[in-house]
Structure 1
Amino acid sequence: MKFNEDASAFAARLIREEHVIADGKGAWSKDRPSAEEENQFIRLHGFGEYAKWHLGIDERYGANTKRRYKFPYGDFKNVHRCGLLAARSRARQYKYSDIDDAAARLIELIRQRK
């Protein structure tokens, strides 16, 4: 699993621009985009933009496949704190320290903006 530095920088910019929802742990299951919302976003914006919403890249899969992009953190409009918490938990579980650290930094950035 490769850490997606561009996605982390994009998320930080969105947080600084106040495109963030500081929701609680566990909200991600209802806040995350549905498969249809993902497909519509890809149709409108392409996989390059889709990639920016994921902190991990699984290079075993082609660039134009949804399976390639892991650890989503937002709804294509806002960064969700609950998405970052979920990404961090999963990254820690699988020992992806770069992704875990990035999610932690982004969570801290959300905390500091209050």
Structure 2
Amino acid sequence: MAIRLNETALRHARSLVNDGDVVRDERDDWSEHAPSTDDENALIDDEGWTEYRHWHLGIDDDADDETKEAYSFPYGDFRKVHRCAVISLESRAGQYDHDDVRDAAKRLLDLIDEG
């Protein structure tokens, strides 16, 4: 498994933050704010895999791009960026040595906190 930074998703996240589509929640809120499996499946059914891909900072090129296995490090609820998600993914990316994802999350968190 070779996770790399999903640059398209990062641009999408930055655009959302710049447009004010961000929830400035607390560190531990992600477990309550994260989309459910049903939410994920509905997005995929309604919008397709490309839209699902745009909501994850990690991408695994070795996985089938039409499976959830290919995408990791979600940063929002398919409507807005959540600060708690960015904090969580920054921590997990660092834990598993995905330094490019970790660093991108840190920059995204800085952008959120500037606003």
User: Normalized against structure 2, the TM-score is what?
Assistant: 0.96
Quote the residue 2:18 is aligned against: 16
In the TM superposition, residue 59 of structure 1 has moved relative to its aligned partner by 1.9
RMSD, aligned CA: 0.6
Distance in 2 (CA, whole Å) between partners of 1:87 and 1:15 is 16
- Structure 2 equivalent of residue 6 of structure 1: 8
Give yes or no for the alignment of 1:40 onto 2:42: yes
Show structure 1 runs of 4+ deviating over 3 A. Answer: none
The total of aligned residue pairs comes to 113
Report matched runs for 1:51-90 at 5 Å: 51-90=53-92
- Residue segments in structure 2 that go unaligned for 5+ positions in a row: none
Q: Distance in 2 between matches of 1:11 and 1:100?
A: 14
Question: Secondary structure of the equivalent of 2:57?
Answer: strand
Output the CA distance in 1 between the equivalents of 2:31 and 2:61: 25
**Unpaired stretches in structure 1, ≥5 consecutive residues:** none
Residue 27 of structure 1 is matched in structure 2 by 29
**Aligned-partner SS, 2:12:** helix
Q: Which amino acid aligns with 1:49?
A: E
Q: CA deviation at 1:60?
A: 2.4
Structure 2 residue aligned with 1:106: 108
Give, as a single letter, the amino acid of the residue that structure 2 aligns with 1:37.
D
What whole-Å deviation, never above 9, does each CA across 1:54-97 have from its counterpart, x for those lacking one? 00011221010011100001000000000000100000000111
Q: CA-to-partner distance for each residue in 1:16-75, whole Å, 9 max, x for gaps?
A: 000000101110001000000000000000000100100001122101001110000100
